Amino acid sequence: MEMFDENHQYVSLANKYRPQKFEDMVGQESISKTLQNALKLGRIGHAYLFYGPRGCGKTTTARILAKALNCTGHGNDKPTAEPCGECPQCREIAQSADLDVLELDAASNTQVEKVREAIIDTVALASSRDRYKVFILDEVHMLSASSFNALLKTIEEPPAHVVFILATTEKHKVPATIVSRCQTFRFRPITVDEISAHLLDLAEAESIDLTPGAAKIIAKNAGGAMRDALTLMDRAIAYSGNRIDEKLVGEMLGLTPDELIKDTVTALVQKDNAALHQAFETLKNEGFDANSFLKDLKNALGDLFYFALGQGGEPFEGAKQITEKVSPGFLAQLSRKVNKITEEVKFSDNALISAEVGLFTVMDSCLDLDNFVRRLEALEKGLPAVASAPAPVRRAPAPTPRPTPKPAPAPRVTSAAVRPASVVRPAPVVKPAPRPTVDDIIADDEVAEEAAPVSSGTLTDRQIWDKMLLQFKKSPFVYDVMLNSTVQFGADEWTLCFPPGKEFYQIPAQNKLGDLEAAAKKISGRTIKFKISSGTPKDDKPAPAAAPKQAPAANGNASAAISNEEPFVKGDFSADAAAPAGTAPADAPEELKDILEIIPGELLA
């Protein structure tokens, strides 16, 4: 393992293995290919802007481009796509010692006087030896506004022998007037797999026993920066020598063990207070840092979210069992809230207690709504076909036998104004009673008992319709269509009519005819076809059935049936009183006329 130069001075891995050619760049193949093609075609820009996260190769690429512009090792008096690395220009640029390649740190030269002195006043001078004079401005976003204004004209129209290469980690801070005059290249973060493979290659070259798992841990903690990964590799070598495995890297970085992360995630998912507290007891006893633990927990939840979506591998052993019980949205919600807890704990005087209290609040506030919805849907699909059947009837003690009058024939036409869910049942005429509705049937034990299923041979058309209403009570679309329609019974064909103002129910009714026919066949055993008709049927109406009799008004005076406390319109009703019984006044609404044709009665007000 040779990590020293000829003077026996230590050289870090980041400097020793710094790429010297375009082919050596890791993770930036598209940029390398574009610059090489531009050099081959002679299409060299006068200004380039490299932007992206730290440690991903911006300054290194700028140096390689400066070498390619000035390399003389190939014997050609023009730029080359493959710098030799052996000529004086290549060697001096690699050591930042070339007089014609100026590397300036914009963070240290923010003032306009320094920019004028270092660039503007020297840009017009010819290069001392090289083919091109190259200005590399690192962290260019740190320049002041006045410095950018002074540099603007020079970058727009530089001399033919000058090339500007600007590098920044924050492109949005560079004025648009500067960006528009440069060829921009975005450097992306290097992936974990690319960093891991590169580390394994370097370990082999350095005769270091590096396990793939340890390389992956280092790559994950590098944050997409190859320079950071090589720095961590240096630390790992200093910590453990020539043998580097997962355990040693975890100890060096202070990472939380996977088993503890798994226990914490399981406690959050299952809302287990005791298990979560036990995890923090382990943290305290083992001396783990609360901020590092929260960071590892947040990353584990993020990886678990991707794994639940089918992306990536298991972040820890047993992750599959956790993702089978919760939804990806719940894991994403946990990760976001843990991230907020991480920001709060940074400023706490007791990080461990703050982290535990914060996770307890996260555990209580996060609900897996997606999972609840799926369970409800599965429960609904598991219900029997007739989901709206009434509850079991409570049998009351048998009443004293009494004579039952002959049942009144069921009406064959229902009206939208009258609740069509009512059931006509034989009962003695005792006193006037309101007509029962579907809700009354379900709530009243006696009526529900009489509505119990009977043999199909004894069901009238009206009873079949009422049972269909009960069946579809929990199916809002069909039930709504039935309530807002008028049904005309036939031998083998029933017609659904929709009065004026409710014609829009015809479209959903047309889509539900099959459901109605299936329900009618199941209840009655008959094959009944349904069709749609607009308007209320006027012709060929079946004879209206007799409704429960009402007690006559006292002394033949209609107004005696009305309490003095109820509102009453004073007016002349002589014309209405002269009308035949069972008919509506001429100016009465059409709905009332239809009702009085079906149900004999008298309009009082």
Asked whether residue 418 carries a pLDDT value surpassing 60, the answer given is: no
- Which among 454, 453, 328 is positioned nearest to 392, based on CA atoms? 453
Identify the pLDDT of residue 415: 38
Identify the pLDDT of residue 173: 92
Helix (H/G/I), strand (E/B), else coil: 496? strand
Nearest-10 Cα torsion for 309, 310, 316, 320: 90
Query: Would you say 69 and 131 are in contact if contact means Cβ atoms under 8 Å apart?
Result: yes
Query: Would you say 252 and 229 are in contact if contact means Cβ atoms under 8 Å apart?
Result: no
Identify the pLDDT of residue 564: 47
- Which among 418, 422, 403, 330 is positioned nearest to 371, based on CA atoms? 330
What is the tens place of the pLDDT at every residue in 185-218? Answer: 999 999 999 999 999 999 998 889 999 989 998 9
Q: Let me know how long the chain is.
A: 605
- Which among 507, 424, 512 is positioned nearest to 472, based on CA atoms? 512
Q: What is the Cα gyration radius of the chain?
A: 43
- The C-alpha atoms of residue 210 and residue 304 are separated, in whole angstroms, by 26
Identify the pLDDT of residue 536: 54
Q: Where are the domains of the chain?
A: 28-186, 192-253, 258-375, 438-534
Helix (H/G/I), strand (E/B), else coil: 590? helix
Identify the pLDDT of residue 581: 52
Please list, in sequence order, all residues whose beta carbon lies within 8 angstroms of the beta carbon of residue 300, skipping any fewer than 6 positions away.
261, 265, 315, 316
Q: In what order do the strands lie in the sheet with 162-168?
A: 101-105, 133-138, 162-168, 47-51, 183-186
Query: Would you say 237 and 208 are in contact if contact means Cβ atoms under 8 Å apart?
Result: yes
Which helix (H) or strand (E) is 398 found in, with range?
none
pTM above 0.75, yes or no: no
Asked whether residue 570 carries a pLDDT value surpassing 60, the answer given is: no
Helix (H/G/I), strand (E/B), else coil: 540? coil
Identify the pLDDT of residue 604: 63
- The C-alpha atoms of residue 218 and residue 468 are separated, in whole angstroms, by 68
What is the tens place of the pLDDT at every residue in 528-540? Answer: 888 887 655 544 4
Q: At residue 446, what are phi and psi to the nearest 5 degrees?
A: -65, -45
Given the structure tokens 């919600």, which residue do they identify?
333
Residue 124: half-sphere exposure toward Cβ, Cα within 13 Å: 6
Q: The tokens of 370 are what?
A: 């997606």
Measured between alpha carbons, how far is residue 18 from residues 57, 100, 307, 308, 465 in Å? 9, 21, 35, 38, 85
Identify the pLDDT of residue 233: 92
- The C-alpha atoms of residue 417 and residue 485 are separated, in whole angstroms, by 10
- Which among 89, 135, 138, 133 is positioned nearest to 109, based on CA atoms? 138
What is the helix, strand, coil percentage profile of the chain, to 5? 50, 10, 45
Backbone φ/ψ region at 75: left (φ over 0), alpha (ψ -120 to 50), beta: left
If one counts every other C-beta atom within 10 angstroms of the C-beta of residue 293, the result is 25
Per-residue three-class SS string for 547-574: CCCCCCCHHHCHHHHCCCCCCCCCCCCH
Q: The tokens of 277 are what?
A: 């507290």
What is the tens place of the pLDDT at every residue in 447-461? Answer: 333 344 444 457 888
527: confidence class by pLDDT, cuts 50, 70, 90: confident
Asked whether residue 5 carries a pLDDT value surpassing 60, the answer given is: no
Given the structure tokens 């406390």, which residue do they identify?
565
- Which among 217, 203, 222, 190 is positioned nearest to 60, based on CA atoms? 190
Cα first-last separation, the chain: 108
Least confident segment among 115-124, 352-361, 380-389, 432-441: 432-441
Burial zone of 589 (CB within 10 Å; 0-12 exposed, 13-18 middle, 19+ buried): exposed
Helix (H/G/I), strand (E/B), else coil: 463? helix
Asked whether residue 441 carries a pLDDT value surpassing 80, the answer given is: no
Given the structure tokens 């290469």, which residue do they identify?
165
As a whole number, mean pLDDT of residues 311-336 equals 83
Least confident segment among 30-44, 68-82, 313-327, 563-577: 563-577
Percent of the chain predicted with pLDDT > 70: 74
Fold assignment, 192-253? Helicase, Ruva Protein; domain 3 (1.10.8)
Fold assignment, 438-534? GMP Synthetase; Chain A, domain 3 (3.30.300)
Residue type, position 586, single letter: A
383 or 333, higher pLDDT: 333
Identify the pLDDT of residue 457: 52
Helix (H/G/I), strand (E/B), else coil: 406? coil
Identify the pLDDT of residue 218: 92
558: confidence class by pLDDT, cuts 50, 70, 90: very low
Cα 498 to its chain centre, rounded Å, is: 42
Fold assignment, 28-186? Rossmann fold (3.40.50)
Query: Would you say 270 and 311 are in contact if contact means Cβ atoms under 8 Å apart?
Result: no
Name, of 150-164, 383-397, 498-512, 565-579, the range with top average pLDDT: 150-164
Query: Would you say 139 and 168 are in contact if contact means Cβ atoms under 8 Å apart?
Result: yes
Residue type, position 234, single letter: D
DSSP 413: B
The per-residue pLDDT of the chain, averaged, comes to 77
Identify the pLDDT of residue 544: 42
Q: At residue 161, what are phi and psi to the nearest 5 degrees?
A: -95, 10
Identify the pLDDT of residue 10: 81
Query: Would you say 362 and 264 are in contact if contact means Cβ atoms under 8 Å apart?
Result: no
127 or 111, higher pLDDT: 127
Handedness of CA 248, 251, 252, 257 (dihedral sign): positive
Measured between alpha carbons, how far is residue 266 from residues 260, 306, 322, 351, 545 in Å? 10, 17, 7, 22, 67
Fold assignment, 258-375? Zinc Finger, Delta Prime; domain 3 (1.20.272)
Asked whether residue 75 carries a pLDDT value surpassing 50, the answer given is: yes
Identify the pLDDT of residue 569: 45
Measured between alpha carbons, how far is residue 313 from residues 178, 213, 304, 305 in Å? 43, 13, 9, 11
Q: The tokens of 152 are what?
A: 């603007």
DSSP secondary structure letters along 295-349: HHHHHHHHHHHHHHTT-S--SSTTHHHHHTTS-HHHHHHHHHHHHHHHHHHTT-S
Which helix (H) or strand (E) is 242 found in, with range?
none
Q: The tokens of 553 are what?
A: 């008004």
Which helix (H) or strand (E) is 438 found in, with range?
helix 438-443
Q: In what order do the strands lie in the sheet with 486-488?
A: 486-488, 493-498, 529-534
- The C-alpha atoms of residue 165 and residue 167 are separated, in whole angstroms, by 7
